[in-house]
Amino acid sequence: MQIRERFEEVRKGFSRNFWVANTLELFERFAFYGSKAVLAVYLAEKVGLGPLGNRLAGTYGFAIFFLPILAGTIVDRYGFRRSLLACFGIFSLGYFSIGLAGLQIGKPLVDSVGAQVYVIGALAITAIGGSLIKPCIVGTVARTTTEATKSLGYSIYYTLVNFGGFAGPLIASEVRGRLGIEFVLVTSSLTSLLLLAGTFFFFDEPKDASGHVGEPRTMLAVLKDMLLVLANFRFIGFLVIFSGFWIMFWQIFYAIPFYVRDVLKFERFEWMESVGPFTIILLTVPVTALMKKVKPITAMTLAFAVASLSWLLVAAVPSLYAMAAAIAIFSVGETMQAPRFYEYVANLAPKDQVGTFMGFAFLPVAIGALVAGWLSGELVETYVHGPGNPSGMWFVLCGIGLVSTLLMVLYDIILVRKFPPKATE
C-alpha cells in the first residue's frame, strides 16, 4: 500500500515539464557518458595524439564543469528553453566535429589545420554546449518542484544522471564494437540532434511557484561573486583539497580503459566505466542513511580513505574482477561523501551567500578532471605502455588519495576546530 501511495505521489507531484526536462537529461547523459567512455582512447589512438589526447580530454572535462559557473548568466538572460535549444544544437555540432577527426571524410579538413588544432577547436565547441545543460535542467527541477516535492525531485534527477552514467558506456561499447570508435561520437551527435527536436516540441519555459521566471544576473555580477569566493581562503582551500578525490575518479575514464584493454586484455573496457554508476544507484540510499549521523567533515574524510585504499586491491590482484570490485568500493566512497559535501558547502558559506558558494561546488570536479587528464597520460606511458610495473599505477593513485585524506584531517584540525566558521559545520 505504501508503495502504491508513493507511486501516486510521484505521478501527481510533478508537472509535465519536470518529466520532459528529466527525460532530456537522461538521454543527454547517454550521449555524454558514452562519448566520455571512449574519448581518451579515441584521441590518443584513433586521432593519433598519444598522451596529448589524455591531456586534451582532461582539459575538456575541466571546461565542461567550470563553464556552467559563467553560463548561468546566459541561461538567466535568454531562458531555459532557448538555452537548451542552443545547448543541444552546439552539442550535436561539437560531437560530430570530434567524430569527424576519426572519419575518412574528415581527413582532408583535419590535415589542413593539424590534428591538435582541430581537436582543440572541436572540444571547445562541445564544452560550450555542455556548459548550458546543468543550469537549465537543475534550474527546471528547482522551478517545477515545491518544498514538499523538491527533495524527491532532486533524487529522481540524481538517479537518472547515474542511470545515464551506467548505460552510456554500455551503449558506447556496442557502437564501438559494431561500427568503430569514431561512431560513438557520431551517435552522441545524432542523440543531441534528437534532443534538440524534443526540446523544440515538448519543453516549455518553466515558471517558479510564484508564477514568474526570475531576474537575470549579469556577467559582472558573476565575476564579482567569483572574486568573493576566491577571497575566502577556507573555502578555496577546502575545494582544492577535495579535488584530490576527483583526480582519482577521472582515472576511471582516462587511464583505466588503457589498463583494462592492454594489461588485463579485456577489450570491452567501457563496461568497467559502468560499474561506478551502477553501484551508486544501488547503494546511495543505504549508505546515506548510515552516514547521516556522522559529521560532514568526518564523513568526507572517511570517504577519501575508502576511495584511496580501493586501488590497492588492483595492485595486489591484477584481474578484471579486482578492478570491478575496486571501482565499486571507490563508488561507495563517492556515495559517502556526495550528499555531505553539498551540505558542508552550504554550511561553510556565509548565510547571505549560500547560492554564490553553491555555484562553485563543481570546481573540485573541474580541477580534478584537468589534473587527471595530464596525469593519466604519464601513468599510461609509464605503467601500461612503458617500463614500469603496471601495479605501480595504483600505488600512485592510492598515494594521491591518502595525501588528500591527510590534508582533510589537517584542514579539520587547523581550520575547522581551532577557527570554526560562523555557520555550523
All three cell numbers of 37, joined, read 567512455
In whole angstroms, give the CA distance from residue 115 to residue 374. 18
In whole angstroms, give the CA distance from residue 133 to residue 269. 27
With contact defined as beta carbons under 8 Å apart, do 400 and 310 qualify? no
Dihedral of alpha carbons 178, 183, 185, 186, sign: negative
How confident is the model over 23-61, as pLDDT tens digits? Answer: 999 999 999 999 999 999 999 999 999 999 999 999 999
The SS3 assignment for 66 reads helix
Query: From residue 378, how far is each of 55, 250, 311, 382, 420 by CA, in Å?
Result: 10, 14, 18, 6, 40
- Looking at residue 6, its pLDDT comes to 57
pLDDT exceeds 60 at position 79 = yes
pLDDT exceeds 90 at position 311 = yes
In whole angstroms, give the CA distance from residue 17 to residue 37. 30
pLDDT exceeds 70 at position 409 = yes
- Looking at residue 100, its pLDDT comes to 97
How confident is the model over 158-187, as pLDDT tens digits? Answer: 889 999 999 999 999 999 999 999 999 999
Burial (0-12, 13-18, 19+ Cβ within 10 Å), 247: buried
Instruction: Specify the higher pLDDT residue, 272 or 11.
Output: 272
- Looking at residue 424, its pLDDT comes to 41
The band of 405, judged by pLDDT with boundaries at 50, 70 and 90, is very high
- Looking at residue 221, its pLDDT comes to 73
Residues with Cβ within 8 Å of residue 370, at least 6 apart in sequence: 58, 59, 61, 62
Query: Could you tell me what percent of the chain has a pLDDT over 70?
Result: 90
Mean pLDDT of 368-390: 95
pLDDT exceeds 50 at position 212 = no
In whole angstroms, give the CA distance from residue 225 to residue 34. 34
Burial 355-374 (b: 16+ CB within 10 A, else e): ebbebbbbbbbbbbbbbbbb
- Looking at residue 104, its pLDDT comes to 95
Domains and CATH numbers, the chain: 13-209 (1.20.1250.20), 218-425 (1.20.1250.20)
Give DSSP secondary structure letters for 261-315: HHTS--S-THHHHHHHHHHHHHHHHHHHHHTTTS-HHHHHHHHHHHHHHHHHHHH
Q: Kindly report the pTM of this predicted structure.
A: 0.90
Mean pLDDT of 292-307: 92
The band of 147, judged by pLDDT with boundaries at 50, 70 and 90, is confident
Give DSSP secondary structure letters for 110-173: HHHH-HHHHHHHHHHHHHHHHTTHHHHHHHHHHHT--TTTHHHHHHHHHHHHHHHHHHHHHHHH
Burial (0-12, 13-18, 19+ Cβ within 10 Å), 129: buried
The band of 412, judged by pLDDT with boundaries at 50, 70 and 90, is confident
Task: Return the residue matching grid coordinates 554508476.
Answer: 277
With contact defined as beta carbons under 8 Å apart, do 170 and 104 qualify? no
- Looking at residue 225, its pLDDT comes to 75
Task: Return the residue matching grid coordinates 555550523.
Answer: 424
With contact defined as beta carbons under 8 Å apart, do 381 and 254 qualify? no
